[in-house]
Every structure is written in structure tokens, then in C-alpha cells.
Amino acid sequence: MQILKLVGELADGIQANEHSPGDETQRRVATAWQSLLPAIVEAGESLPTDPNPVADWIREVGRAAKWFDEAIRQHGLADVLFRFNCDGLIRVAGEGQSLFREMAAKPGPFAFVDEPAANNPLGIDTTPAMPKPPIQFVEAAARDIPSIMADVPPRHDGAVELVASHLVKRLQDAGHALAAAQWAVHESVRAGRLQPGLIEVEFPSVGHVVGGTMRHWGGRDDRRLEWSGGGKATVGIPKGKPAPFDSFKVIATESLWTWWHSAAVETPTQAEPAAPAIKAGNGDLIERLIAGPDDAELSPRELALLEAYLKQPVSLAQMQREA
């Protein structure tokens, strides 16, 4: 679940700052917070009202995030990290990990938790070696994967596949950074939209003339031709560590095409290739704020998007005082 990952990254950053405070760890916390804030606000808009352990946990994350957000608005990030106890976020991150481990061990209603593992029966580790960029760039690259795979001629059995490094190269050609492209492939594998597989290679066959005698003047040639070599093999993949992207292929699953046609994917069609997530997420919002009026009201989600766009907290009270 994306929120589990994001709150985990924020908790890791807070703990790193506790052990080694400084500008670098504060930037790490700020980056993680800018990714989590709009995600938790958006998740909160569609939470079910029925009892649900995941929804209950998301509400706990929301409470901790609300406190953190208010503290940052009043005191600034540096002061909050230096003067305040941020264990609430660390606690909910740990509770989320425990919850999902328990869910993964249960059959029945929570079988969906095991689907990503079932989608990777060979256990190929597709984790990129490059640092993960901000989530909006990864999501932007992921949105371009279906259209790229749709242009690949299918195999005789109808499957559509590409060597992972070739898919990454096509994403780069579409304007995405290398790290964003690799992480987009990895996240698509984890989500079940792509299935990793082994790359088959064919070895050449070599013919040798053996035995017999070459006849002259129209006589019978009783030599024979023997072939050696040939056959097929697969590209080796290292055990116990991430696989290089040129050592495995990815196969499009039905989930990829379903996801491609969903409204969530079709909405940001006007995005620019280099940063579609930013443009699609709040381009219209920024234009509306510029157009006025000055006293325009923002919903919690719009405020979160504005903060993500500006990469800093927004205090409406302070803006009104300055106005």
C-alpha cells in the first residue's frame, strides 16, 4: 500500500534526524512529508464508514499527520524536529507494518495482499539500484507504460513483453528520468501490472563435415554433416540481490490494460511528458488561484496539492495577515 510506504519513509527520516540532525536529514524528512501529505488527504476522502482495519489505521495516520502539519505551520520543520516528540508518526508506521504482515498471513478477504507475490513466481527482485525519486515522477512514468507496451508486437501466444531495460529506455525517450523509469517498472511489477520473466537466448549451431570420402567425377560423396551447439538458455539472474534491468523481461498482464482504461489513469491526459504528475495534479488549481478572486477558499485536498506544488507548508492565516 502506497501510504504504508510513504509513512515508513517519513518515520525513517525522523529517526535518522534524531540520530544525526542536520540539513541533509531535514531535507529527507521534508521530501517524505511532501509526498505523504497529499496522499493521506486523498485517501481520507474515500475511506469506508464500515469497520475496517486498514481504514482505521489510515485514520490514525491522519491524526498523526494532522498534528505534524499544525506543528510545522506554527513552528517550522526545523523547530518541530528539534523540540517536539514525533514518535506518533513512528508509531503508526510500525503499526501499519504489523497490520499488513498479519493480513498477509490470513486467507479469505485479504488474499489480495498476496497477489503481487503470486505475480512474480520466479521471485525476481526488480528493485532498482538507483535512489527512488519523488513519487510524482515515478507515477508519471508508470502512466506511460501501458501506451508503450501497447505498441509492442505480441508474441504468437498473444503475450506482450519487453526486456526491462528496453522499456526503461523507451520511458526515457518519453521524457522521464532514468531513476523514475526504473522505479515505475518496479512499482508496476509490485502492483501486478507487469510480470517479470527470464530472457531466453538461442545459441548458434555449427556444422562439421565428418567421415567418408569426397568422390570425384560424379561419384557418390559419403561424407556427412554433423551439427554441434545450438539450443536455448536463459540469461542468468543473481540470487539474493536486485537483478540488472537487462537480465529480465516484463510481460504485460490484464491488470495493466484494466488500469490503463480506468478513470484514474485517463484523467491526466494533458500532462507534459517531463512532469505530468505535477501538471495534472494542480495545474488547473494554480491557474484558478492566479485568476482570483483573492479570497478563494481551498478544500483540504487542494491545500495539500498547493503545498506539494510549492514544496513548503502553506498557512492561510499568515497569508491573510500578509495581505
Q: What is the pLDDT of residues 72-115, one digit of tens each?
A: 999 999 888 888 888 888 888 888 888 777 766 555 554 444 44
pLDDT digits (tens, 9 = 90+) for 224-279: 777 666 666 777 787 778 889 999 999 999 888 888 876 343 444 444 443 333 34
Asked whether 142 and 184 are in contact (CB, 8 A), the reply is: yes
Q: Which three cell numbers stand for residue 208?
A: 562439421
pTM of the model: 0.43
Tell me the sheet residues that pair with 161.
251
Determine whether domain 135-199+236-266 maps to CATH 2.60.40: no
User: Which residues does 252 contact at the CB level (< 8 Å), separation at least 6?
Assistant: 146, 149, 159, 160, 161, 193, 194
Name the residue ranges covered by the structural domains of the chain.
Answer: 2-117, 135-199+236-266, 202-232, 276-322
If DSSP codes are grouped into helix, strand and coil, which group holds residue 13? helix
CA distance 219 to 213: 10
Strands (E), 189-270: 194-198, 200-202, 205-210, 224-229, 232-234, 248-252
